[in-house]
Structures are given as C-alpha cells and as structure tokens.
Amino acid sequence: MRNKFLRTGQGGFNPIQKLRVFYSGLRYAVLNESSVAIEIILSLLVLTACFYYRQWLDFTIVLVASGLMLVAEMVNTAIEALCDFVESGHNEKIGIIKDVASAAVGISILVWSVTLIMEIVRLWQGIQ
C-alpha cells in the first residue's frame, strides 16, 4: 500500500489488500497473545447471550467495550514489539514507554471486565 507521507509503496486503494492486512494482524494477535484469544472468546459468549435474549443495548455496550479493549491490547503489542526492535537491551526510557502502554491496556481491561460482569449478572437475573 502507498504511504502518502513517505511517498513509498504502490499507489491506489485496494480494499481486498486492506482486509488481508487486517486479517493478518488479527490472526497474529490471537495466535501469539493468549490474552487476546481469551478476551475474544469471553466477549463472544456474552455477545451471543445478549443477542439470544434480544438485549440490543447491552449487546452494543459489550461490543464497544470489547472492541476498545482489543484495540488497546493490539496497540500495546505493537508498541512493545517496536520498542524491542529499536532497543533489544535494557533501557529505562523504553521500560517507561512499555509501562505506560501496559497501564492503558490495564484500564481498558478493567472497564471491559466490569462491563462483562454487569452484563452477565443482568442476563443471569433475567433468566431466573
């Protein structure tokens, strides 16, 4: 794909290529980060239950929380990989960068977890 800032790569918009890149990145994250795979499975279980019981607002809230959490996880993975590529040895500044990225993921996982727990409790109460 063409980088419009560096003026490198091939020109033209290719949606199929963009989907391949998306799939490749998602596949890498799921296969190499077990937390991403577990979070996707848990989210899909709760989303399925919300869909089954026609809780559309709950479905949307869980979908948004899950999406934001996955974005944070993948950005964190990319930041850590980039830091390791730039500096393979110990570097205090790289450590701070990784810590901040991990803190962002921690916050997103906390919000996601609370959202999932609240929805599970709501669904459980609705079943009984």
Distances in Å between the Cα of 64 and the Cα atoms of 8, 52, 57, 61, 96 are 34, 18, 11, 5, 28
- 39 included as an active-site residue: no
Q: Tokens 């850590």 identify what position?
A: 80
Phi and psi at 99, nearest 5°, equal -65, -40
Annotated catalytic residue within 73, 80, 87, 119: 73
Of 34, 32, 49, nearest to 120 by C-alpha is 49
Active-site annotation, residues: 73
